[in-house]
Amino acid sequence: MGYRQVVGTTTWTFPDLKDLLAKASPLRSGDALAGLAASCAQENVAAKLALADLPLKTLLDQPLIPYETDEVTRLICDSHDAAAFAPIAALTVGEFRDVLLAQTTTTEVLAALAPGITPEMAAAVSKIMRNQDLILAASKCKVTTAFRDTIGLPGTMAVRLQPNHPTDDPAGITASVLDGLMYGCGDAVIGVNPASDSLAANGELLRLLDELIGRFSIPTQSCVLAHVTSTLELIERGAPVDLVFQSIAGTEAANASFGVTLALLKEGREAALSLKRGTVGDNVMYFETGQGSALSAGAHHGVDQQTLEARAYAVARAFKPLLVNTVVGFIGPEYLYDGKQIIRAGLEDHFCGKLLGLPLGCDICHTNHAEADQDDLDTLLTLLATAGVTFVMGVPGGDDVMLGYQSTSFHDALYVRELLGLKRAPEFEAWLNQMRITGAGGALLPPSAGHPLLTGGPA
């Protein structure tokens, strides 16, 4: 069966659901690279019109990737909550958009619907939404998680303190951590991308961060963003692991390219839970995603990159993560060519993740060979903050000297928090005040010469 849509004097035909979804996507270089993008704006409009009339149930009944050959599809189908889906089961994609934007649709309504919404439904409705629609609908979705502090409460935005160093130098990493803390960043996680695959080196990084958090009683969590198998081995060796990290994607084959399966992720979560290191919650997983990962692995099965990104969120949802991060411009211009495409993708990802019930944050970033600049990142940061983004990155100077890309800085977090009156996680906010890093209303205080963070003394 195909889909037909008349626009003007032209009849457009879309042979199957995969083609319809791909052609309805806003233009991006990855879909064009894969030969999936609409041939022109008129075809894109025709696909959007046809998609708006599609029953939501079709997206449930017709898996894009066969159930028999893909464990992500099996996860999506087997975990679907029919009772939660019932209130919207008779709607089309277009009618679902109307429901999401209705003033009567509250945070509580969307939370109840989340288990009944599949990634394909979220992706489909996002394709017929303007940027303002994505922002408004996402702003209604509130998702709260916790480990040593509470992430995602209304009126808050957390920051991952990212103190990467090109040689994993402990002094360099510590300096960046202290810099970030003095700017009030780090409530999402203090997370290091290790420059080395060495288990010994990664264990030393974990101990460094654990000692720092323990010495100053910081209500936050640490993470060394190693492969889940490395983290499992480090747990076996007695390393102080708070969160288990893994990059994930939306197909079984793409996850295989990352060296992971659903069973392995389950093992990682169970190992972290067994350590019982959380104080206010037990969300122990940290996932990162990004549009284009399946295509870059040759594992996209003819599905557009934004729909596959939403499917990655089904993987994340199954493991009750503390944090999920779309690294929106990191893969490069082959997948998101310029600032406009990066901004649109960031809003789509945040909307889809929140709609599915995830604590979605965003690494608002671009590679140095993309057609984007800091103004584009400022724009996306501001838009995502108004949409209620769970967390963003805090990178010294906004320039990651280890990964070699541009992201958001500690100063950028200060800007958007002041602009919108956003607080930090409450436990972390209280600690900053106790440490005389912030004063009334969360404003930064000038650091004194004898400040304990600067002298290494007791908290």
Task: State residue 258's pLDDT score.
Answer: 97
Residue 1 has pLDDT above 70, yes or no: no
User: What is d(CA 69, CA 444) in angstroms, rounded to the nearest whole number?
Assistant: 54
Indicate the pairing of strand 360-363 with strand 323-327.
parallel
Q: Per-residue pLDDT for 459 more than 80?
A: no
The model carries a pTM of 0.97
Q: Tell me what pLDDT residue 414 has.
A: 96
- Contacts of residue 262, Cβ cutoff 8 Å, sequence gap at least 6: 71, 72, 75, 255, 315, 318
Report the C-alpha gap between 272 and 357 in whole angstroms: 22
Q: Which pair of structure tokens corresponds to residue 241? A: 């692991």
Structure confidence at residue 280 (pLDDT): 98
Distance CA 233, CA 230 (A): 5
pLDDT at 455: 78
Query: For 278, phi and psi rounded to 5 degrees?
Result: -75, 155
Short-list 256, 248, 203, 192, CA closest to 400: 192
Average pLDDT, the chain: 96
| C-alpha to C-alpha distance for 73 and 260, rounded to whole angstroms | 16
pLDDT at 199 over 80: yes
Structure tokens given for 7: 């626009």
Whole-angstrom distance, CA of residue 220 vs CA of residue 427: 8
416-435 per-position pLDDT tens digit: 999 999 999 999 999 999 99
205 Cβ partners below 8 Å, 6+ apart? 168, 170, 173, 192, 194, 224
Output the pLDDT for position 458.
57
- Say if residue 396's pLDDT is above 60: yes
**Locus of tokens 């198998």:** 229
The pLDDT tens digits for 209-250 are 999 999 999 999 999 999 999 999 999 999 999 999 999 999
Stretch 355-379: mean pLDDT, rounded?
97
Query: Lowest-confidence range among 1-5, 60-64, 131-135, 352-356?
Result: 1-5
